Structure 1
Amino acid sequence: MVRMTEVKRTQLSHLTAQLDDLRQRGTYFKLRVLEDEQGPVCTYDGRRVINLASNNYLGLCDHPKLREAAISATENYGVGSGAVRTIAGTMRIHMELEEKIAAFKGVEACVVFQSGFAANAGTVSSILGKEDFIISDELNHASIIDGARLSRAKIKVFRHKDVAHAEELLKEVASEPGRKLLITDGVFSMDGDIGPVDRLCELADRYGAIMMVDDAHASGVLGRNGRGSVDHFGCTDRVDVQVGTLSKAIGALGGYVCGSRDLIDYLYHRARPFLFSTSHPPSVAATCIAAFELLEREPERIERLWGNARYFKEQLAAAGFDVGGRTTPASETPITPVIVGDGRRTMEFSRELFEAGVMATGIAFPTVPEGKARVRTIMTSEHTREQIDQALETLTTVARRMGIL
């Protein structure tokens, strides 16, 4: 008699084979465990390291004002909302957060989702149908790709940041029935380059397309007080759908969509992640409100972020690292890839850096194309010059030892 556990192992043996293939390629990884606060220097797996892997751009993950807001909300409202938003889980603090973000972005309304991924996928899949068209940058985030597939719309992909190619695709479908959605990342997460939001807005205006921008890595980084790439290009009135995140520069958890009142009311009724996920704990909503208030009051955080990013990028390039622009798009933001190329070598480089005291995550296929594996680094406002110099020294020493430099 075959035991049930043996049957299960047989039925999932294809997963074991794929994991074995990852091990063979040298790109298999284990999760590193953070043992204290998310900061410029912290402890992973018992080792104290300079952290170049975090999206905590402005150091808000452990800010005292955000801690106070979270504790106060927990004491006043409890630890959970108890339901999805459309049944019994919409608390006054959720509405306050949406109103705060809408005012910050200068739009009519906002809806908060449980994650940035849910915001993108839920929005694209709900506002379009199989008779419609999506014109999407080839390097757009996975959540946009998944949302496009779920929508069942016809997907056309334009070459990265190639506005002329995007126009070719729009011309091809101009006479076709159905809506057209033109979509780009504001900042591309793997290369750190900025999307041509202003020029794509011109195309959307010319061809009557819906314009959508995913500003996850631009929120808190670009624009006035961190209002994002849409504000950076002065396109607030020309972008129909703005997506942002609460889990990177804002320091907490979640995503959001900004736009017209009708767009947001429609998403309340039809966006499946919104309809079928329990709403944020009140502590998270309160934390995010406090973060947006800090963005307004402390613009110097963003100035420090950019000062650190420019210095780090310059020093990496001076040392001879490929930081984009040779075989990949050039980085224009605090995201700076160190291009290695080979996946196995990249993951070995990342592991050696960790052993030497620097946390910098290796990223290989399928997240990036074959031959373009990299160690992705991210600067924050809270890194000191001493920490940056130490990280640079470690990167250079390890790279030379491994023959990368």
Structure 2
Amino acid sequence: MQPDFTTHIQTILADIEAAGLTKRERQITGPQGGRIALAGGRQLVNLCANNYLGLADHPEIIEAASDALQRYGFGMASVRFICGTLDLHRELEQAVARYLGKDDAILFAACFDANGGLFETLLDAEDAIISDSLNHASIIDGVRLSKAKRYRFVTSDMDDLETQLKQAVSDGVRFKLIVTDGVFSMDGHIANLPEICALAERYGAMVAVDDCHATGHLGPQGRGTPALTGVGNRVDIVTGTLGKTLGGAMGGFIAASQPIIDLLRQRARPYLFSNALAPSVAAGSLKAIAIAEAADDRREKLMRHTRKFRAGLIDAGFELLAGETPIIPVMLGEAKLAQDLAAELDKRGLYVAGFFFPVVPKGKARIRTQMSAALEDADIDFAIGAFTEAGKQLGII
């Protein structure tokens, strides 16, 4: 490598460190759960996984994955259209489609790939994408890959959305697609899908929702934000993940009408040029959907934890973003303070992570806590106590 380039990279890394923005990975030594093990044998209460229903170590999911491993082997060593499509893959796609009330679904290695392949495949320079300003990075990158005209509306601002739709109409675009997160992952608030769908109908637009932080645990039977907000099939396209609530492994999907899915199979580059999902992941995810659909008890427990933890931190004096989902951001402002609080909580036996630029805007650093049905009531009490002690020590409260 050229010495000047190495020096350039080292300078960037030093600047990141000096600004307190370095992200450090901690190794856990056991399964994902309400409590996790770290090297050296420490056990910590876990408040930062996307394991909303606590299915990541569910014995029935592990058994289904293990059985598939024995029957189908370790991996497919192929993309889907060559020799990488199993009966399991189609069964999983059909299960996703049925669960979300769509004609069909298509699997990807991750939802990042699903969003990366969606817009480029369906829209071109004659068309328009109208995107919420706080949409996930995968949507932003996917939109960049498309030749479609780009419009952005202030997050959840329906007046601004209407302004952008009017501009798209004035610009003479052919097809219009509004895209939004169902739940905004860093803030925890839910998109105003009823108003978005109403505006879409008024201006002849389609609607796509990334429901990664909702599918499985929000709405009736965990069918996500379209079901939760009562818009159902008024949402044309749903993208989502198997790597959060639905077992926590990996894999993403798009669920939509049959023609959309058929075209994605022919043209979506992340699908055409990526290995098929491992058989164990497909089988485990199938079992996870079946469990999640019937898991009203886990959803009730999850929301009970959400209400209790939110109330406890507000009573202690922390600044929280308003919301009703299991994502509860504790706002701290500066990256260093977020990291300092995370370190103090670690000492007290609580596993959390600080979020700061570029994951969130500068000056909006936070600890994003996430509730899970894998936690017990005693864990929530413990977490509130740990936050209160650490917050007082650092002068936050």
Report TM bin, short chain.
over 0.9
Normalised by the length of structure 1, the TM-score is 0.95
Out of 224, 228, 248, the residue aligned to residue 224 of structure 2 is 228
Match of 1:3 in 2: none
Q: Which runs of 5+ in 1 are unaligned?
A: 1-6, 325-329
Letter in 1 for 2:154: R
In 2, Cα distance between equivalents of 1:344 and 1:76: 49
1:158 paired with 2:150, answer no
3-state secondary structure, aligned to 1:273? helix
Match of 1:343 in 2: 335
Letter in 2 for 1:113: F
Match of 1:317 in 2: 314
Q: Counterparts of 1:384-399 in structure 2 under 5 Å?
A: 384-399=376-391
| Alignment: residue pair count | 394
In 2, Cα distance between equivalents of 1:8 and 1:302: 54
Letter in 2 for 1:75: Q
Match of 2:207 in 1: 211
List per-residue Cα deviations over 1:271-290 (Å, max 9, x = no partner). Answer: 11100000011110000110
In 2, Cα distance between equivalents of 1:95 and 1:120: 20
3-state secondary structure, aligned to 1:376? strand
1:247 paired with 2:243, answer yes
Q: In 1, are the aligned partners of 2:217 and 2:292 still within 8 Å (CA)? A: no
Out of 163, 172, 177, the residue aligned to residue 168 of structure 1 is 163
Out of 341, 352, 356, the residue aligned to residue 360 of structure 1 is 352
Match of 2:14 in 1: 20
Q: 1:54 offset after TM fit, Å?
A: 0.4
Between 284-293 and 42-51, report the one with greater CA deviation.
Answer: 42-51
Match of 1:145 in 2: 140
Out of 192, 203, 220, the residue aligned to residue 188 of structure 2 is 192
Letter in 1 for 2:233: D
Match of 2:49 in 1: 54
1:274 paired with 2:266, answer no
Q: 1:22 offset after TM fit, Å?
A: 1.3
In 2, Cα distance between equivalents of 1:21 and 1:352: 24
Identity %: 43
1:401 paired with 2:396, answer no
List per-residue Cα deviations over 1:358-399 (Å, max 9, x = no partner). Answer: 111100111111111001100001211111111111111011
Match of 1:35 in 2: 29
Q: In 2, are the aligned partners of 1:337 and 1:376 still within 8 Å (CA)? A: yes
Q: In 2, are the aligned partners of 1:32 and 1:45 still within 8 Å (CA)? A: no
Q: 1:53 offset after TM fit, Å?
A: 0.7
In 2, Cα distance between equivalents of 1:349 and 1:160: 28
Letter in 2 for 1:358: L
List per-residue Cα deviations over 1:88-110 (Å, max 9, x = no partner). Answer: 10110000000111111111111
In 2, Cα distance between equivalents of 1:225 and 1:289: 15
List per-residue Cα deviations over 1:95-127 (Å, max 9, x = no partner). Answer: 000011111111111111110111112112221
Q: In 2, are the aligned partners of 1:69 and 1:290 still within 8 Å (CA)? A: yes
Letter in 1 for 2:273: F
Match of 2:86 in 1: 91
Between 236-245 and 57-66, report the one with greater CA deviation.
Answer: 236-245
Out of 288, 292, 295, the residue aligned to residue 289 of structure 2 is 292
Letter in 1 for 2:271: F
List per-residue Cα deviations over 1:42-67 (Å, max 9, x = no partner). Answer: 12343321110100111111101001
List per-residue Cα deviations over 1:104-156 (Å, max 9, x = no partner). Answer: 11111111111011111211222112332111111000000000001032221
Q: In 1, are the aligned partners of 2:216 and 2:293 still within 8 Å (CA)? A: no
Out of 77, 97, 101, the residue aligned to residue 102 of structure 1 is 97
List per-residue Cα deviations over 1:208-263 (Å, max 9, x = no partner). Answer: 11210010001112111110001112222211111111000012211111110101
Letter in 2 for 1:401: Q
Match of 2:179 in 1: 183
In 1, Cα distance between equivalents of 2:351 and 2:3: 35
Letter in 2 for 1:246: L
In 2, Cα distance between equivalents of 1:378 and 1:298: 18
**CA distance 1:28–1:232, change in 2 (3 Å):** same
Q: 1:9 offset after TM fit, Å?
A: 4.3
Q: In 1, are the aligned partners of 2:328 and 2:370 still within 8 Å (CA)? A: yes
Letter in 1 for 2:291: L
In 2, Cα distance between equivalents of 1:104 and 1:23: 45
Q: 1:355 offset after TM fit, Å?
A: 2.2
Q: In 2, are the aligned partners of 1:331 and 1:337 still within 8 Å (CA)? A: no
1:256 paired with 2:253, answer yes
Out of 100, 106, 112, the residue aligned to residue 111 of structure 1 is 106
3-state secondary structure, aligned to 2:215? coil
Normalised by the length of structure 2, the TM-score is 0.97
RMSD: 1.2
Match of 1:303 in 2: 300
Match of 1:375 in 2: 367
Out of 122, 125, 128, the residue aligned to residue 127 of structure 1 is 122
In 2, Cα distance between equivalents of 1:15 and 1:208: 47
In 1, Cα distance between equivalents of 2:183 and 2:294: 24
Letter in 1 for 2:109: Q
Q: 1:297 offset after TM fit, Å?
A: 2.8
